[in-house]
Amino acid sequence: MIVYILPTKNTIGIVHYRDLEADEWIFQGDAQVDPQYEVYREMRSTVRQDWRPFNPRTNVLWCKHIVDCMARGLPKKGKLRQTLEEVSLRLPSYTDLRSFLKGDEFFGRKK
């Protein structure tokens, strides 16, 4: 289950954010039970425990998590699973999703 918590949102120049440091349990969960706990730990490291500014890398981390979840739900030898696993391996090389969408070979473009 993916827990949606909006850490940062900019609305007409006002930044709304949730300081996830107040929810220590999010970072202590067992990633073997639910991989999203590892995503939260990676996000925490990425934002250096400062949730106020927007950090586009956190979107990359969530996208990779979602791609991994989709891949795990497919037959192991299927072409779609293989494609998703390849995308998952490339995603971490991007700093934001815009760069991924504009430049990844998955979309017929070279990085």
Closest CA to 54 of 98, 85, 17, 90: 17
Name 99's Cβ contacts closer than 8 Å, sequence gap at least 6: none
Helix (H, G, I), strand (E, B) or coil at 101: helix
Q: Which residue stretches of the chain have pLDDT < 70?
A: 1-11, 109-111
Per-residue pLDDT at 6: 55
The alpha carbon of 4 is separated from its chain's Cα centroid by a whole number of angstroms, namely 12
For 93-104, the pLDDT digits (tens) are 999 999 998 888
